[in-house]
A = this chain, B = another copy of it.
Amino acid sequence: MARDIDDLPKQPANYTALTPLWFLERAATVHPNRTAVVHGSQRYTWLHTYRRCRRLASALSRHSIGAGATVAIIAPNVPAMYESHFGVPMSGAVLNTVNIRLNPQTIAFLLGHSESAVVMVDQEFFKLAEDALKILSETKTSYNPLLIVIADPSCEASSLKYALGKGAVEYEEFLESGDPEFAWKPPEDEWQSIALGYTSGTTASPKGVVLSHRGAYLMSLSGAMIWGLNEAAVYLWTLPMFHCNGWCYTWSLAALCGTNICLRQVTAKAVYQAIANQGVTHFSAAPVVLNTIVNSPKEDAIHPLPRLVHVSTAGAAPPPSVLFAMAERGFRVTHTYGLSETYGPSTVNAWKPEWDSEPPIAQARLNARQGVRYIGLEGLDVVDPKTMNPVPPDGKTLGEIVMRGNLVMKGYLKNKKANEEAFAGGWFHSGDLGVKHPDNYIEIKDRSKDVIISGGENISSVEVENVLYGHPKVFEVSVVAREDERWGESPCAFVTLKEGVKKEDEERLAVEIIKFCKEKMPAYWVPKSVVFGPLPKTATGKIQKHVLRAKAKEMGPVKKSRL
């Protein structure tokens, strides 16, 4: 430390490791009887939740799980999933949330790589876990984690019975074995790890993103402040908690003594029902979910909404047309952007009052930009990745989006090379390409690897997609590079049509769509190929462009003669 005015060392009275675990203790003290977690007919108060989490920590401790250990959980948004966010780190262990839509091979890799000593698994996904463990046992003979099955009355009884038959401990029974007054301790050092999450399958081998207690604490507060998530908010869990720990809102909700509404399965109808019946004030979702909501059948929707509902979205660049349609339906959408490596969203399109007077579609376009840094992120820039020099704020010059500060992960687990690359030059490299506008707001143009290079020109697949989302028959679209004999690469659009659109004559529809594009974009941007069908997605609703790229490759190059 530099010279200071006096020597006043840290001591127990004035220094404690930052950790979101204190939020739960506080919620249970301040609002013991307020509803903390709702799942169907299950309701837990903050005092219940605190006692359940302490039981979990205590039971884990009795199995010698503590600092240095990892506990995996494979579950949708159910109470046990929420509780694991407190109970596991209260034992000192690290929580490894596993994406429930992964295949057994990938889960086997994750469990092996993270060396998870415990696997908590929802009854519906028990077989998936079992398959993964089988694969793993073939490579790693000594691996024998403690298996805990989470029962859910809304699932079929047979899967629970099956799991118990295989020797899994039932979650409630496991809690029973723990002490509800367990004297948990904050970490000795706030840099200690709290959570581990693997990047979703857009790349070949998943990387384990390690987060600290300090970062989780700061993100919980930053995320809440940026969004205006207020005291006693009622939050609907549309966003999977296994995705960056629900963007750290798991912990924010405890800080704000709010209420968590669980949701196993996300549909537009379920979202509207929860708004109508549970008093929901906030939810988060990837743009693809917003798209489902705005295209939901009229009988599922509620109009007008019983109250203003705040929505935060991230995970992909939301098309302006979707933002516009959400606003029309009474949702206030806060557009944020980030990665697993930044504890979830760490930039926000901070709304400006002067935009209120813009026409709605202009507003949606302004709001579609990725914006500015969160309060807790100290650095955000768009740079030339070679020189690390910032690009000019002209809204045109492409560069890499980089971040720096307390909302950046500790690093990837056991992956020195990836860490060196990710942190090169003192910044975290997002791998996303973007521009900086004259008002300092950044905007993503593409993932580095998603840029289409056609005749030497860069084409942003996102910009082509944004135009296509404006076509009245298009429900969802993803544009990737396809080999092109003449141009090297050219854009290939994969399109899902809206319900009710006649699909008989795909050839004619393709021509119609290409014509639409020609009117609205430079000629070299116009997709040379249009393919109809469902789009492959990750568990978090991200479209898997690498799958589409593989499809485009199978199709072979666009011939010179064509069109």
Contacts and interface: CB of A to CB of B under 8 A. Distances in A.
Interface residues of A, number: 76
Nearest to A426: B12
A412 to B, nearest CB: 8
A189 B2 contact: yes
A470 interface: no
A4 B230 contact: no
Contacts of A92: 2
B221 A423 contact: no
B192 A2 contact: yes
A350 B22 contact: no
Contacts of A350: 30-31, 231, 257
A138 interface: no
A92 B419 CA distance: 32
Interface in A223-238: 224-225, 228, 230-232
Nearest to A230: B228
A427 interface: yes
Contacts of A404: 12-14, 16
A116 to B, nearest CB: 10
Contacts of A368: none
Interface in A1-35: 1-6, 8, 10-16, 18, 22-23, 26, 29-32
Interface stretch (A50-58, A314-322, A370-378): A370-378
**Secondary structure class of chain A's binding surface, majority of residues:** loop
A197 to B, nearest CB: 13
Contacts of A408: 13-14
Ranked nearest first, the 5 interchain pairs of A and B with the lowest CB-CB distance are A3-B68, A14-B408, A8-B411, A12-B426, A2-B67
28 contacts: A4-B68, A4-B192, A4-B193, A5-B70, A5-B94, A5-B193, A5-B210, A6-B410, A6-B411, A6-B413, A8-B410, A12-B404, A12-B427, A13-B403, A13-B427, A14-B215, A14-B410, A15-B191, A15-B406, A16-B404, A16-B405, A18-B218, A29-B372, A31-B350, A221-B222, A221-B375, A228-B230, A231-B350
Given A1-B188, A225-B231, 18 more contacts: A1-B191, A1-B192, A3-B68, A5-B69, A6-B193, A12-B423, A12-B426, A13-B403, A14-B215, A14-B405, A14-B409, A15-B405, A16-B379, A16-B406, A18-B406, A221-B375, A228-B230, A257-B350
